[in-house]
Amino acid sequence: MKLVKSLLLVTLALAAVGVQAKYNGEDRGRPVMPAEINAKMQAECSGCHMAFPPGLLPAASWKKVMTGLDKHFGTDASLSAADTKEITDYLVKYGSNRWTASTAPLRITESEWFKAKHLSGEISPAVWKRESVKSASNCMACHSGADKGDYNERNIHIPK
């Protein structure tokens, strides 16, 4: 019993080290929607895709995204100065609390943690090209509770 316990502890410790190394400090932290909901963010950032939970990127990324809204991934998503500031403050406040890298990707899908979870193994390359998925940014295609910050394994369904 004692041996089983210590083996378990060693395995857990190794797993923790592995996770650290794999993401190179790019760690999403809390993926859930914060208890404090910002109505403006929900309204203005959900027109073209779901409103992404802020914990998926570090504060520095959100600042970059929010200062480039007029040239937002090929579209113009610009807002008034007041709305931009309110939404930026909210996203920055709840950005990833575990990001130790100095990197600040513009996309969640470009981050090391995202690639480690999605682009190695399990999901075949063809899946990303399906009409039902289209883009890796389309989290809702596979995580039905993504807009609520639910990425639980139990609620993942890869569409046909």
Q: Which is nearer to ligand HEC, 7 or 85 (CB)?
A: 85
CB of 102 to ligand HEC, least distance (A): 19
CB of 7 to ligand HEC, least distance (A): 23
CB of 12 to ligand HEC, least distance (A): 15
Judged by the rule CB under 6 A, the positions of this chain that interact with ligand HEC are 28, 31, 44-45, 47-49, 52, 56, 65, 69, 72-75, 77, 87, 107-109, 117-118, 122-123, 127, 133, 135-139, 141-143, 151, 156, 158
Residue 92's contacts (CB-CB under 8 Å, 6 or more residues apart) are 59, 62, 63
CB of 145 to ligand HEC, least distance (A): 11
For residues 122 and 115, give the distance between their C-alpha atoms in angstroms, rounded to a whole number.
Answer: 12
Q: Which is nearer to ligand HEC, 5 or 124 (CB)?
A: 124
Q: Which is nearer to ligand HEC, 56 or 104 (CB)?
A: 56
Q: Could you write out the DSSP letters of every residue in 104-140? A: --S-GGGSHHHHHHHSSSSS-HHHHHSTTT--TT-GG
Q: Which amino acid is at 37?
A: I
- Burial of 84 (C-beta count, 10 Å sphere; 0-12/13-18/19+): middle
Q: Which is nearer to ligand HEC, 14 or 19 (CB)?
A: 19
CB of 92 to ligand HEC, least distance (A): 11
- Angle at which helices 81-93 and 59-67 pack, to 10 degrees? 160
- Burial of 67 (C-beta count, 10 Å sphere; 0-12/13-18/19+): exposed
Q: Which is nearer to ligand HEC, 74 or 160 (CB)?
A: 74
